[in-house]
Amino acid sequence: MLGKQGAGKGTQCVRLSHHYVIPHISTGDMLRAALKAGRSLGNKVGDAIASGELLADELVVSMVAERLEQDDTRRRGFVLDGFPRTIEQAKALRSLLAPADVDMAVNLTIPTAQVLKRLAGRRVCADCGANYHVTALPKVDWTCDVCGGEVVQREDDTEDAIRRRLGLYERETAPLIAWYEEHSRVMSISGVGSQDTVGARVIRAVDSYLRRRDRSVRK
């Protein structure tokens, strides 16, 4: 799932993972969980995440490589969230999956003005990554509706860090869309609208791809 910060990638990836019963692999969630558990990730990784910088490709790629070794990724597929974020990472992912490849890249689009509004009010579950907003908090005080975890504001959802992350997105991640257009297939889907509306759009697009793929396999 590609798209700038605040496009709704996390929310839509959680929905896809429930809908298709596939693991949701989010590098951001994995990194935050590792930091919370006190695992050593090397110098200054915590600071880099809090200030919204990208981590070294090798670190993130090795983490994803280890995750993709687990059996649950081999049954019905998986959805990747926040990875790849650079062309180097996309190339590394390609080698990890070879001779197979990702089925598709979904590009969730949203105007930057809306992103700022969404991120400033965003709250997330520290355990499962489910997304909330100050205007739509969980039913019970700061307790995640999905898993019961604690709902918090992310350290990197400050104005400075948001600006840095959007800059990095334009420089490092946006070129991935052209890369995937060349090497795989990209479906651009508008991320504007309610979670349900956008979710229905994404699932319709994925289903239509799966139908086409299954028809061509049967032929």
Could you give the residue numbers annotated as active site? 9, 85, 122, 154, 165
87-97 vs 175-183: helix crossing angle, rounded to 10: 30
Per DSSP, what are the bridge partners of residue 188?
107
In the block, tokens 């969230």 appear at: 81
> Minimum Å distance from CB 26 to ligand AMP?
6
Q: Considering the rule CB under 6 A, would residue 49 count as an interface residue with ligand AMP? A: yes
Of the residues 22, 33, 35, 48, which one makes contact with ligand AMP according to CB under 6 A: 48
Closest CA to 61 of 37, 91, 102, 33: 91
User: Residue 12 corresponds to which tokens in the numbers above?
Assistant: 């839509």
The residue nearest ligand AMP at its CB is 28
- State yes or no: residue 27 binds ligand AMP (CB under 6 A): yes
Please choose, from the candidates 125, 27, 13, 33, the residue with its C-alpha nearest in 3D space to the C-alpha of residue 77: 13
Of the pair 84, 138, the CB lying nearest ligand AMP is at 84
Q: How many residues does the structure list for the chain?
A: 219
Q: Which of residues 71-100 bind ligand AMP (CB under 6 A)?
A: 82-83, 85, 89
Residues in contact with ligand AMP by the rule CB under 6 A? 27-28, 31, 48-49, 52-55, 60, 82-83, 85, 89, 156, 165
